């Protein structure tokens, strides 16, 4: 336990001593730099080193001439405009009329004449459906009548041909005669 405690204290002291040394080193460098600048000012040496651009000497190579600047610019592309075909409205209308488009549709939903034509068509369709239903119903009635007639005729012919209880009557008479004896 004591080793752990002393070990952690030692690490803590080492870290703080490192931080303190870094701080002192940076402080010392800052102090040296400021004293250096003070000495230069006192001696009269300028700390700013600017070039005099108005002098007749050659301009520094850091600047580009106009010709050099043009080399960096991208050339402008020529825009090609597509010419749109102008549509002739009169020709389009004439073509639509000749092909039959738009003859029945006048564009109004509330047109009285168009509504009357539509209602008349609906009435005719309803009448045709009603007639078809009535004819089918009449055919079904006829077919059922014919079936009923055929069934009644078949029943009558069956009764006339052979009596179903003849054998039974004879058996009954024989048994009655035996009992009387």
Q: Is residue 166 included in any domain, yes or no?
A: yes
Assigned domain for 61 exists:
no
Q: Over the Cα atoms of the chain, what is R_g? A: 62
114 burial via Cβ count (<10 Å: 0-12, 13-18, 19+) = middle
| Rounded Cα gap, residues 57 and 65, in angstroms | 16
Closest CA relative to residue 35, chosen from 21, 24, 43: 43
Count structural domains, the chain. Answer: 2
pLDDT at 28 (0 to 100):
77
- C-alpha distance across the termini of the chain, in Å: 139
**Per residue in 134-158, pLDDT tens?**
999 999 999 988 888 888 877 666 5
- Walking along the chain (181 residues) 10 residues at a time, the average pLDDT comes out as 65 80 79 78 64 55 80 77 74 79 64 86 95 93 88 68 63 82 67
Q: Which residues of 2-30 are buried (b: 16+ CB within 10 A; e: fewer)?
A: eeeeeeeeeeeeeeeeeeeeeeeeeeeee
pLDDT digits (tens, 9 = 90+) for 23-47: 878 777 788 778 877 777 777 665 5
Please report whether residue 157 resides in a domain: yes
Percent of the chain topping pLDDT 70: 75
pLDDT score, position 1: 44
Residue 6: domain span? 1-43
For the chain, the maximum distance between any two Cα atoms, rounded to a whole number of angstroms, is 179
Q: Is 133 domain-assigned?
A: yes
Asked whether the whole model's pTM tops 0.75, one would answer no
Q: Let me know: does 9 contact 16? Beta carbons within 8 Å.
A: no
């Amino acid at each position: 336990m004591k080793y752990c405690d002393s070990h952690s204290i030692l690490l803590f002291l080492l870290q703080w001593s490192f931080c303190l040394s870094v701080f002192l080193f940076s402080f010392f460098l800052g102090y040296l730099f400021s004293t250096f600048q003070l000495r230069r000012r006192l001696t009269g040496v300028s700390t700013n080193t600017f070039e005099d651009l108005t002098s007749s000497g050659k301009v520094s190579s850091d600047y580009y001439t106009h010709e050099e600047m043009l080399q960096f610019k991208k050339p402008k592309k020529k825009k090609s405009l597509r010419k749109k075909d102008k549509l002739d409205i009169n020709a389009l209308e004439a073509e639509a009329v000749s092909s039959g488009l738009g003859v029945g549709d006048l564009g109004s939903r509330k047109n009285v004449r168009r509504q009357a034509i539509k209602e008349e068509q609906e009435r005719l369709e309803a009448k045709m459906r009603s007639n078809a239903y009535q004819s089918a119903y009449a055919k079904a009635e006829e077919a059922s009548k014919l079936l009923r007639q055929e069934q009644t005729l078949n029943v009558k012919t069956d009764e006339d041909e052979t009596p179903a209880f003849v054998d039974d009557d004879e058996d009954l008479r024989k048994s009655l005669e035996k009992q009387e004896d």
